């Protein structure tokens, strides 16, 4: 069966909807389709794409081809005793949860949405609330099958250059076709959650440093509009998978049932200018005040704890037609002063962000372009139409680079290329291997051209 091709070019954007470009969309249904698509993608090359949750332009390719890999969605084998799954790259984490939870297994790492594919999770080397314990997604990938530019399929495992370039390589080493992933055992579909409030950024960092080792999952919502003594105040949420004994009697009848909540979709677009410093400031104040000062052992559904926004389809529309930028960076331990300065600058600038989180990263992962490194990571959403935003974020990039940090490529749509080498020290090795694998530049993207990857 030939690969499906959209008639003519289609407009493709990231989840932030800030940098649309037109491309020819090809949807392979088989591995043979994928090989044919790569061989016939044309002079502008192609880039694989999953469910479109990269915020920036990583899965776009202006004037070329985009390979929609969601048609490759088979789960080939589940080892319910050993805790592994072999599946196609187009399988979503949502689908894995549906299949694996009844068997007592959960995905090892999940970001803030379960609507990402396994291939996308590897290509972006996604992280979650458990990086300080479990690392990023690719750490749990035992092997992968990669379709390279010459049309051959190669198996790559841990410790090989091909694997390390592909993990976090943003789809530029080839098309991931399938992967074997090690899973996390669970007894229930609930998380036992502790919640507390932190009065400011220093209080938050102290609480995270002192107790994160006791929790598998940890994240802090941070109020980036709070000023003066309250700068960086936060709601800290931490937890672990709830054991069967922690569930009330009624819930024990079906402890592994996966029943995510779902609300009506967001409106097509909210009016421009609705998300102002005043409106977001009011939201942040209410959110902080309604959080408990200290609460322990609350049982939450997996979907509520990990993916609250997935309950609102198309939530990215709330930023209006202009879209939004998600800015995420990491700075190392010992660079807390840099983190303080950046938070203070964001607070003074009045960036209207109600989705801002601070986490701690653990040991770095082997991927050459993998984002996490030991340190503090802050992510925030900002309406793209905010006056002077581009210049302001350029200044933050300089501060991050000076502190030895980096920004997350899976969320970027505007980084200047001259900062990339400083942020990613293995970039030269990545470029060299990519040139060897793909001398004709078959795999490319808007991100790759913008940053000269």
Nearest 10 degrees: Cα torsion 350, 352, 354, 360:
-50
pLDDT value at position 289? 95
Residue 6 has pLDDT above 50, yes or no: no
Share of the chain above pLDDT 70, in %: 96
In 3D, which of 56, 71, 64 has the Cα closest to residue 38? 64
Q: Which residues contact 260 (CB under 8 A, 6 or more apart)?
A: 301, 302, 303, 307, 310, 311
CA 63 to centroid of chain Cα atoms:
26
The C-alpha atoms of residue 397 and residue 329 are separated, in whole angstroms, by 9
| pLDDT tens by residue, 258-285 | 989 877 776 766 666 677 888 889 999 9
Q: Which residues contact 51 (CB under 8 A, 6 or more apart)?
A: 70, 92, 115, 116, 117, 120
In 3D, which of 385, 413, 380, 224 has the Cα closest to residue 320? 385
Q: Taking the CB of residue 18, how many other CB atoms lie within 10 A of it?
A: 20
pLDDT value at position 5? 45
Which residue reads 């990583």 in tokens?
Answer: 58
The C-alpha atoms of residue 373 and residue 364 are separated, in whole angstroms, by 4
pLDDT value at position 271? 67
Name the 3-class secondary structure at 3.
Answer: coil
Handedness of CA 116, 117, 123, 126 (dihedral sign): positive
Residue 326 has pLDDT above 90, yes or no: yes
pLDDT value at position 215? 98
pLDDT value at position 109? 98
Confidence of residue 242 (pLDDT cuts 50, 70, 90): very high
List 383's β-bridge partners, or say none.
324
| pLDDT tens by residue, 358-392 | 999 999 999 999 999 999 999 999 999 999 999 99
The C-alpha atoms of residue 162 and residue 179 are separated, in whole angstroms, by 14
pLDDT value at position 269? 64
* Cβ–Cβ < 8 Å for 54, 15: yes
Residue 4 has pLDDT above 50, yes or no: no
Q: Report the pLDDT averaged over residues 333-358.
A: 96
The C-alpha atoms of residue 296 and residue 213 are separated, in whole angstroms, by 16
Instruction: Classify burial at 147, counting beta carbons within 10 Å of its beta carbon; exposed 0-12, middle 13-18, buried 19 or more.
Output: buried
Pairing of strands 84-88, 65-68: unpaired
pLDDT value at position 1? 35
Average the pLDDT over each of 5-19, 50-64, 109-123, 229-243 and give the range with the smallest value.
5-19
pLDDT value at position 320? 85
CA gyration radius for the chain?
Answer: 21
| pLDDT tens by residue, 279-310 | 889 999 999 999 999 999 999 999 999 999 99
Q: Which residues contact 339 (CB under 8 A, 6 or more apart)?
A: 201, 205, 331, 376, 378
């Amino acid at each position: 069966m030939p690969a499906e091709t959209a008639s003519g070019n289609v407009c493709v954007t990231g989840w932030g909807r800030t940098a649309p470009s037109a491309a020819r969309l090809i949807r392979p249904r088989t591995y043979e389709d994928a090989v044919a698509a790569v061989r016939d993608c044309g002079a502008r090359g192609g880039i694989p794409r999953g469910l479109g949750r990269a915020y920036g332009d990583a899965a776009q390719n202006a004037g070329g081809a985009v390979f929609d890999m969601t048609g490759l969605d088979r789960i080939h084998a589940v080892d319910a005793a050993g805790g592994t799954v072999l599946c196609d790259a187009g399988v979503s984490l949502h689908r894995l949860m549906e299949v694996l939870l009844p068997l007592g297994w959960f995905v090892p790492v999940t970001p803030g949405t379960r609507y990402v594919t396994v291939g996308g999770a590897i290509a972006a080397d996604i992280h979650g609330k458990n990086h300080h314990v479990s690392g990023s997604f690719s750490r749990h990938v035992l092997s992968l099958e990669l379709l390279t530019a010459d049309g051959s399929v190669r198996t790559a495992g841990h410790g090989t250059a091909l694997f390390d370039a592909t993990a976090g390589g943003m789809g530029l080493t080839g098309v991931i076709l399938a992967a074997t992933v090690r899973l996390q055992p669970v007894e229930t579909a609930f998380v036992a959650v502790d919640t507390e409030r932190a009065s400011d950024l220093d209080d938050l960092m102290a609480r995270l440093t002192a107790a994160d080792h006791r929790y598998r999952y940890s994240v802090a919502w941070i109020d980036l509009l709070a000023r003066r003594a309250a700068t960086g105040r936060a709601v800290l949420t931490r937890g672990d998978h709830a054991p069967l004994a922690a569930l009330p009697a009624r819930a024990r009848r079906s402890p592994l049932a996966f029943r995510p909540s779902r609300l009506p979709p967001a409106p097509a677009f909210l009016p421009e200018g609705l998300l102002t410093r005043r409106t977001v400031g009011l939201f942040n104040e209410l959110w902080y005040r309604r959080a408990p000062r200290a609460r322990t052992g609350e049982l939450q559904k997996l979907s509520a704890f990990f993916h609250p926004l997935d309950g609102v389809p198309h939530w990215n529309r709330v930023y209006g037609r202009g879209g939004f930028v998600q800015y995420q960076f990491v700075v190392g331990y010992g660079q807390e002063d840099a983190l303080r300065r950046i938070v203070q600058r964001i607070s003074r600038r009045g960036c209207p962000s109600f989705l801002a989180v601070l986490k701690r990263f653990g040991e770095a992962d082997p991927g050459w372009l993998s984002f996490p490194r030991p340190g503090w990571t802050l992510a925030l959403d900002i309406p793209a139409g905010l006056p002077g935003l581009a210049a302001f974020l350029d200044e933050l990039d300089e501060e991050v680079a000076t502190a030895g940090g980096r920004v997350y490529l899976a969320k970027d749509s505007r980084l200047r290329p001259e900062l990339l080498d400083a942020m990613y020290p293995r970039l030269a090795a990545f470029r060299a291997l990519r040139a060897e694998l793909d001398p004709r530049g078959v795999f490319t993207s808007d991100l790759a051209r913008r940053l000269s990857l």
